[in-house]
Chains A and B, each alone.
Chain A
């Protein structure tokens, strides 16, 4: 990173502040970056800004697509959440009660011998399916669950082809996500939906969301691929928004937060 900054002719005095992901995520990864960020902040005497990873996905998406006040479907390996902004916070309207959709796909894929990451392979195999198999469709209010679906899909392989199971898994899981997104849209009266997170790369999921938004007459936004999955720009961008609004993180409060929830963050930039 330092070399790349040097190559671009960026010198330390060009930096106004240093942003890092404070969470959620895995402890060792978060700790490594937090330590580096603290060191840079202290040695250059510039403000430190700890950002929430989930909200960084949302803000980079809003910035890149022009969505103003969307219902956000954030889907990645570990996360699956439906969020919307209200009264100074991003509220979680619905989320997985167990595992994220990405992990559910990976878990299933690993079990049947497909290589990591499983999502793209499941998507590919789905295209060759010939029939739909009924699998657990679990929506509990605004929340949902995928672990049962993942297990049932693996069990269905005894009587069905891998292609049919992949197809049915996708159709069921994505229908759940789109249904809950639509419920949040109905509940908030929002006219926009924004997709974010690595699983957002799935074409079938996009198509379903696009159809739902089209049927409701609302707008659907997807940022460029490089801003969908985890990326450094989103951390830097949210850091900038926070910096401009004097939301900085004192070093003594810069401890990592592996379980950092988006609804713990007080939004100062909207």
Chain B
């Protein structure tokens, strides 16, 4: 059963397991396409396992082959559909934990978070990487705030609550949140 056809991969549920398959993009030059798909698959599997080991809820990885990852099925609603100020606080905690552990998700949207067993599971680490710079963390949070703004009403409250959760767990939160403001106004013509 198809769970989703995302922008870069198909997500199938087979025998109770999720199979994420990075599909070739015919608009992209073949050489470039293969580099991107392979690199992202390898890095994603590695970071999903690493995050889980460090206390951030993510699916268990069962297998990796070529551009395909087989992993645990997290059966719950997407945060996108149920987001409340309270949940936004929890998102702050989870993202703070990731950043504390030196992991940048790279695509923090509310479609990439699932609520299961009262915990927020992070999925889709396709653009994730390891980095401890204020800049990388700032861009990560900036991307999430942009999702709040573009897809949720009353985003100011969501942002405020995120900050509470983020500050609560992550000692470097203040520097990152300050950088987010700077990124927002940077180099933008429009």
Contacts and interface: CB of A to CB of B under 8 A. Distances in A.
B7 A185 contact: yes
A208 B29 CA distance: 10
A31 interface: no
Contacts of B35: 134
Given A81-B190, A142-B109, 7 more contacts: A84-B150, A91-B149, A132-B31, A142-B147, A187-B151, A215-B25, A215-B26
Contacts of B27: 175, 178, 207-209, 211-212, 215
B108 interface: yes
B40 to A, nearest CB: 10
Given A97-B183, A187-B111, A261-B190, A182 B106 contact: no
A142 to B, nearest CB: 6
A53 B29 CA distance: 33
Contact of B190 (A99, A132, A259): A259
Nearest to B110: A187
A100 interface: yes
B44 interface: no
18 contacts: A79-B190, A86-B150, A86-B151, A91-B150, A93-B146, A93-B150, A97-B187, A134-B32, A141-B107, A141-B140, A142-B109, A142-B143, A142-B147, A171-B29, A172-B32, A182-B8, A209-B27, A215-B25
A95 interface: yes
A24 B189 contact: yes
A182 to B, nearest CB: 4
Interface residues of B, number: 36
Contacts of B111: 187
B139 A143 contact: yes
Interface of B: 5-8, 25-29, 31-32, 35-36, 106-109, 111, 127, 139-140, 142-144, 146-147, 149-151, 153, 183, 186-190
Given A142-B143, A183-B7, A132 B109 contact: no
A79 B151 CA distance: 22
Main secondary structure of the interface of A (DSSP, over half): mixed
Using C-beta atoms within 8 Å of the partner chain, give the interface range for chain A.
35 or more
A62 to B, nearest CB: 18
Contacts of B32: 132, 134, 137, 171-172, 175
Given A175-B27, A212-B25, A137 B7 contact: no
Interface string A209-233: 1011001000000000000000000
B26 A182 contact: no
Which of A96, A142, A259 neighbours the largest number of chain B CB atoms within 10 Å of its CB? A142
B72 to A, nearest CB: 23
Contacts of A187: 7, 109, 111, 151
Interface string A41-53: 0000000000001
Nearest to A213: B27
Nearest to B185: A259
Which of B28, B107, B143 neighbours the largest number of chain A CB atoms within 10 Å of its CB? B28
A96 to B, nearest CB: 8
B150 A259 contact: no
Contacts of A84: 150
A141 B109 contact: yes
A133 to B, nearest CB: 10
Interface string A79-116: 10100101100011111111110000000000000000
A262 B143 CA distance: 18
A140 B106 contact: yes
B139 A97 contact: yes
Contacts of A134: 32, 35
B127 A259 contact: no
A179 interface: yes
